[in-house]
Structure 1
Amino acid sequence: MKKKQLLLIMCTLFASVACSAQSDEDKPYVTKNFTSASLKELTVETSGGSISVTGGQSGGFKVEMYVRPNNNWNGKKELSKEEVEDRLEDYDILIGTEGDRVVATAKRKNNVKWNNDKNVSIGFKVFTPRNVATNLKTSGGSIKIASLTGEQNFTTSGGSLKIDDLDGMIQGRTSGGSINVTNCRNDINLHTSGGSIKAEALKGKIELKTSGGSIELNSLDGEIEAHTSGGSVRGDNIRGALNAGTSGGSVRLANVSGSLKANTSAGSIEVELKSLGKYVELSSSAGSVRVTMPLDKGVDLNLKGNRVSIPLKNFDGEAEKDFVRGKMNGGGVPVTLSASSGSVYVNQ
């Protein structure tokens, strides 16, 4: 059985760890340090505040807990120490260790009814070594996570995700905010149900999905999935294999090198391909498809739309106003372009 060292931080004990009432939201209400070299994991959970985790620190873990106004504390901008302690009696707060894991949690007690006049937002900032795995969860705030190596899992029901400099298995979810991710590597899986996604300088296996916003991709390299049900897809400087789609906007991609599949149900597609990969598949149900691409290599063409326009050289096949099927330069990479309600333009 794992040795447990769980430290329950009760309101009556806060004075022993240098707590004070907060007149400045950047001042932690309580701070705890954990220096054991055996600590390799972090669990943080709060029901009403934000979470920030920053790795790359020397000297172990530092956990800071913040108590901030929620609904302006019934008209008051700040509370006295006694008033804060009174409100914290409605919560179970835990800051401690369990085996090789640091734990920081703040949960409303099950028998306490919701009271806007006494409600507070409890957030955590944690500073850790680089090689730390995390499990983070909040139902009412944002999550910021940076400078870590390992498996990272984080979820919020009501805030945004800001992610930077992670290396490993990365899985993040938000039901009500945007995602901003930069400088990450390895296996990246990020979903939001209610916001946009901005991704830059990522490398590896990448999956980005949103049900309610646009997607912006810059300097990505790897096996990439990017899909939205409610916005546009924009991208620049992408290498590898990209599968992008939207049900509610256009697709605009520049400086793409590699395999490409993209589709839209409610807009047009414009793509600049610098070099071809294994395939090109582009389709639009409600707009045109316009592509700039190298035509000096062997390709198998399957193009169709209300009108199809492409400069044909060394071509063997059929070419009509609304379709082109055949081989250029002896055939090779399959190129399939389709516009159900628009035209197809290649190098035009």
Structure 2
Amino acid sequence: MKRNQFLLTLLSAGVVSLTSFIFPNQHRNDDTPYLTKTYSGNISAVRAETSGGSLTVEGGTDRNAKIEMYVRANNSNDKLDKAELEDRLKDYDITIAQEGSTLVATARRRSNTNDWKHALSISFKFYTPRNLTTDLRTSGGSIHLSALNGKQRFRTSGGSLHLTDVEGDINGQTSGGSIHLDRCRKDIDLQTSGGSIHASASSGNMRLHTSGGSIELNNLKGDIDAQTSGGSVRGSDIEGEIKAGTSGGSVRLANVAGSVDASTSAGSVEVSIARLGEYVRLNTSVGSIRVKMPLNKGLDLNLSGNRVDVGTLSNFSGSVEKDHVRGKLNGGGIAVNISASNGSVYLNQ
């Protein structure tokens, strides 16, 4: 009884030694929390940091907030028994606490050794109210956010980012993983140096950048800036203003309602516009451009390429040549600039 009271006192203090995590006969697998701690009162923020595991925040709970800690060997082939696991845990400083209205969870290795094979992967999972801000850091795992409203800041050096049903000021980065975005809203700024981006059923101001992967956009509404240096950009059912660019792939956009700025340095461009916005800008250095769009509004056409095929234009004044078309359609209005430096341009063909 006295021992249990002592453990509860250490846990309540927030900064605890690893021996307080060691419970007899509780050797657990990767799917079972090594430790669970419940909190009550007003919770409005989460701060977490770990060097070898994932971080997950699930909002929307109408009960007490909760933190779960998961522990496994960093080397997936290393199957630890209870004694070895507890021995390795002694090399870590763990903090799990409630500081005012903020839940805090950190895991830091004491030694400076580079022996990663004997390191542990320590992950944290939070169950919180929906209205919540986050500040999350991990260098070796993924980050998952769901059912949250508020300011979200998160970084990982070696994992993916997963966001579902998150609304607010969202800013996240990963150096080595993919990004998955679903049903998110408002201001979204996500970046990866080494993975693909998948965004669906979301709205707001979106900046989605990757240096080493493809981008897929589906059912989005708002101002979208999607850029990649090493992959293709594909999208459908997009409403608003979209800027899509790649240095090493093609651009395919279907059923766009709004302004379009699409470019590539080494690929083709195919765009289908259901409703025109304020402008159309399409460009490729090596490849062809094929665009389908309404021609019943006033347009200022400026099309150029090795070959330009526009078929028969009604109510057009200007010049139509093999390699360029310049002039006004229906009296002029919306600027349409399309250029293929080493390829053909096809308008509604």
Q: TM-score, normalised by structure 2?
A: 0.94
How far did 1:178 drift?
0.5
Select 2:26's aligned residue among 20, 25, 28.
Answer: 20
3-state SS in 2 of match to 1:297: coil
Which digits, 9 at most, give the CA deviation of each residue in 1:290-312, with x for residues without a partner? 00000011100000000111131
**Aligned sequence identity (%):** 55
How far did 1:141 drift?
0.6
How far did 1:60 drift?
2.9
Counterpart residue number, 1:10: 17
How far did 1:116 drift?
3.8
- Tell me which amino acid in the other structure corresponds to 1:284: T
How far did 1:19 drift?
8.4
3-state SS in 2 of match to 1:83: helix
Where does the alignment leave 5 or more consecutive residues of structure 1 unmatched? Answer: none
How far did 1:15 drift?
4.5
RMSD in angstroms over aligned alpha carbons? 1.4
- Tell me which amino acid in the other structure corresponds to 1:124: F
Inter-CA distance 90–289: structure 2 relative to 1 (3 Å threshold): same
Where does the alignment leave 5 or more consecutive residues of structure 2 unmatched? Answer: 1-11
- Please give the alpha-carbon distance, in whole angstroms, between the structure 2 residues aligned to 1:79 and 1:248: 48
Paired residues of 1:213 and 1:230 also in contact (CA < 8 A): yes
- Please give the alpha-carbon distance, in whole angstroms, between the structure 1 residues aligned to 2:78 and 2:348: 63
Counterpart residue number, 1:79: 81
Which digits, 9 at most, give the CA deviation of each residue in 1:48-81, with x for residues without a partner? 0111111001223100001012114xx542321x
Which digits, 9 at most, give the CA deviation of each residue in 1:217-253, with x for residues without a partner? 0000001000000000000000000000000000001
1:254 corresponds to 2:258: no
Which digits, 9 at most, give the CA deviation of each residue in 1:193-231, with x for residues without a partner? 000000001100000000000000000000100000000
Paired residues of 1:19 and 1:29 also in contact (CA < 8 A): no
Inter-CA distance 112–86: structure 2 relative to 1 (3 Å threshold): farther
Q: TM-score, normalised by structure 1?
A: 0.94
- Please give the alpha-carbon distance, in whole angstroms, between the structure 1 residues aligned to 2:191 and 2:44: 26
- Please give the alpha-carbon distance, in whole angstroms, between the structure 1 residues aligned to 2:102 and 2:249: 44
Counterpart residue number, 2:108: 107
Query: What are the within-5 Å matches in structure 2 for residues 64-213 of structure 1?
Result: 64-72=68-76, 76-80=78-82, 82-109=83-110, 111-213=111-213
Select 2:51's aligned residue among 32, 39, 47.
Answer: 47
How far did 1:156 drift?
0.5
Counterpart residue number, 2:3: none
How far did 1:115 drift?
2.7
How far did 1:86 drift?
1.2
Which digits, 9 at most, give the CA deviation of each residue in 1:273-330, with x for residues without a partner? 0010000000000001100000011100000000111131101111111011110000
Paired residues of 2:75 and 2:118 also in contact (CA < 8 A): no
- Tell me which amino acid in the other structure corresponds to 2:26: S
Counterpart residue number, 1:301: 301
- Please give the alpha-carbon distance, in whole angstroms, between the structure 1 residues aligned to 2:284 and 2:25: 59
How far did 1:112 drift?
3.9
- Please give the alpha-carbon distance, in whole angstroms, between the structure 2 residues aligned to 1:288 and 1:148: 43
Query: Which contiguous aligned blocks of 4+ residues in structure 1 show a shift greater than 3 angstroms?
Result: none
Which digits, 9 at most, give the CA deviation of each residue in 1:94-114, with x for residues without a partner? 0002222110000111x4423
